[in-house]
Amino acid sequence: MDTTGPTPDRAVRPGGARGRSGGLRDTLEGYAFAGPFLVAYGLFLIYPFFKGIWISLHDWNLLAVAFNPAAKHFVGLKNYVHMVWGQHLVWGVDHLVWARAIGLAAVVAALALASRGRLPWRTAVPLAVVGVLLFGVALGIHPASDGRWYDRRFWHIVWNTLLFVLLTVPSVTVIALGLAIALNRQSRHAAALRTAFFLSQVLSVTVVTLIWQLMFSPKQGILANLFRTLGLQPIEWITNPQLAMPAIVITTVWWSIGFALIIFLAGLQEIPAELYEAARIDGAGGWRIVRNITLPALSRTTTLVVVLQIILQFQVFGQSHLITRGGPDDSTQVLVRYIYQTAFQNSRLGYASALSVFLFIFMLGFSLLQARLQGSD
């Protein structure tokens, strides 16, 4: 990095930098400081983002276009229709009835909380509207017996991705929080344990998957070997559709607990010691201190961990790609791997871009939801 810096000649005159009015100098200096980032931002994020949307409106074969730039065809929203829609779709009350009932119950609960003043209306109403549209209407749509989704795999893969996030994020958060509370003390022993639990975080995804692929192997795996010595049948993790997803969740939790642990430890160290003293004088025991002091004080830290985890885990790729290859029967196929394969295996760049835009909207939706809920704290 060069250290000459921007606008040295302009800034030498003292006093000028004090202008707080948004004058010409401030404007120039502001853009000079923010400039390098803004250039990278525009070039490597904003421009490709809109280019991606543009590609998604085309029938665009990776290889064909590479040899002949004119080989792409504008198809409008066809890729999106193909992705989310189908032939002979019908709406049924009873389709996915339990999931929808639970969802609608949550909507009712949110409204109930709002009416008691526990949740602001400005949070509850948008939530309820989205919830009713999603659970009441959208999830009731399904193909009739003679119908089909245009992309038969898509919604299943969306669900897998969501399931992965729903299993991973709470596990990582709860385990990291528990360990942080237990290990937040000044002893060599605790420090050693903190190191042990953090260690796996520094391994790269390929090392992690390399180890766990073998850990789970019914022939070579350490668990299998242990089971066999005990005279038990080894568990077939990776090839069992019920266990393949848990297997990559376990791998992910093992791998990504370290960073969450450290953020929690940092949060714990910011809680003033006087709070604990006061509680102790009041005669509060260990669990009550945790519940009444530690957890409330950590609420913002917890939000931070959850948000970071959600963003990270939605983009899961390596674990699915390297351990289970999306299988068996697509049970661990996730969105990013589907995007990768659509683009680079099937060469369908247009459709892959449409999938990427969907992932963006999906994550944006979650972020907004999270922001709404957080805003109501």
Partner 1 sequence: MKRTLTLLMAALALSLGATAFGQTEITLGRFFGACEQAGTDIKSAVGEACIIQSIINAFSAADNGIKVNTLPTDWGNYYDQLKAMFAAGNPPNIFVIHKHAIPEFASLGALADLGPDLAQVGIDPNDWTAAGKAAVTYDGKIYAIPMDVHANLWYVNMDIMKQAGLVNADGTPMVPHSPEELLQQAKIVKEKTGKDYLTADFSQFPIGVRLVLSLVWQQNSELFTSTKANVDSPEAKKAVETIVSLFKGGYADPTLNYNDSMQSFINGNAAILVNGDWVVNSLDAQTKDPKVALKHFYVDNFPTLFQTPATWADSHTWAIPSTLKKQNPDEYWAALKLAKWIYDHDLDWARTGHLSVSKSVIANPAYAALPHRQEYANTVNIARDVKQTTHYDAIQNVLNRQLQAIWLTDKPIDQALKDANQQVQDILDQ
Partner 2 sequence: MVGSRGRDRVLMPLLTVLAVLWLVPVLWMLSMSLQPNELLARTTSNTFLGLIPIPFTFHNFIRLFTLGLTPRWFLNSMIVSIGMTVLVLALSSMAGFAFARIRFRGRNLVFALVLAGLVIPEQAVFIPLYTMFADWHWHNTYQALIAPRLAVPIGVFLMTQFFRGIPSYIEEAAQLDGANRWTLFTRIMLPLSVPALTTLAILTFLYAWNDYLWPLVSANHKEMFTITVGLASIQSNFAQSEGLGRVMASGVMASLPMILLFLVFQRYVVRGIAMGGGK
75 within 8 A of 58, measured Cβ to Cβ: yes
User: Under the criterion CB under 8 A, does residue 34 sit at the interface with partner 2?
Assistant: yes
User: Under the criterion CB under 8 A, does residue 150 sit at the interface with partner 2?
Assistant: no
- 235: which residues sit within 8 A by CB, 6+ positions away? 218, 223, 224, 227, 243
Q: How far is the CB of 245 from partner 2 (least distance, A)?
A: 19
Q: How far is the CB of 296 from partner 2 (least distance, A)?
A: 14
Between 107 and 181, CB nearer to partner 2: 181
330 within 8 A of 160, measured Cβ to Cβ: yes
Q: How far is the CB of 204 from partner 1 (least distance, A)?
A: 16
Q: How far is the CB of 139 from partner 2 (least distance, A)?
A: 24
User: Under the criterion CB under 8 A, does residue 314 sit at the interface with partner 2?
Assistant: yes
Radius of gyration of the chain (CA): 26
222 within 8 A of 179, measured Cβ to Cβ: no
Q: How far is the CB of 165 from partner 2 (least distance, A)?
A: 13
Residues of the chain by 3-state class (helix, strand, coil), percent to 5:
70, 5, 25
The SS3 of residue 73 is strand
Q: How far is the CB of 231 from partner 1 (least distance, A)?
A: 16
φ, ψ of residue 83 in degrees (nearest 5): -70, -50
Q: Distance between CA atoms of 84 and 138, rounded to whole angstroms?
A: 11
User: Under the criterion CB under 8 A, does residue 296 sit at the interface with partner 2?
Assistant: no
Q: Which stretch in 95-103, 117-125, 136-144, 339-347 sits in contact with partner 2 by CB under 8 A?
A: 339-347
Q: How far is the CB of 315 from partner 1 (least distance, A)?
A: 18
Q: How would you class 50 by CB atoms within 10 Å of its CB: exposed for 0-12, middle for 13-18, buried for 19 or more?
A: exposed
Residue 238 binds which one of partner 1, partner 2, none, with CB within 5 to 8 A depending on kind?
A: partner 1
Residues counted in the chain: 377
User: Under the criterion CB under 8 A, does residue 11 sit at the interface with partner 2?
Assistant: yes
Between 118 and 325, CB nearer to partner 1: 325
Between 115 and 269, CB nearer to partner 2: 269
Q: Looking at 168, 252, 301, 324, which residue binds partner 2 (CB under 8 A)?
A: 301
Residue 112 binds which one of partner 1, partner 2, none, with CB within 5 to 8 A depending on kind?
A: none
Helices and strands in the chain, H and E counts: 19, 4
User: Under the criterion CB under 8 A, does residue 286 sit at the interface with partner 2?
Assistant: yes
Q: Which stretch in 44-52, 98-106, 121-129, 145-153 sits in contact with partner 2 by CB under 8 A?
A: 44-52
User: Under the criterion CB under 8 A, does residue 364 sit at the interface with partner 2?
Assistant: yes
Binding site for partner 1 (CB under 8 A): 61-68, 148, 152, 217-220, 236, 238-241, 325, 327-331, 340-341, 344-347
Residue 141 binds which one of partner 1, partner 2, none, with CB within 5 to 8 A depending on kind?
A: none
Tokens of 286: 């260990």
Q: Which long-range contacts (CB under 8 A, 24 or more apart) does 222-229 make?
A: none
C-alpha dist (Å) from residue 285 to 3, 174, 281, 291: 55, 21, 10, 10
Between 123 and 353, CB nearer to partner 2: 353
Calculate the CA dihedral of residues 243, 247, 248, 249 and round it to 10 degrees: 90
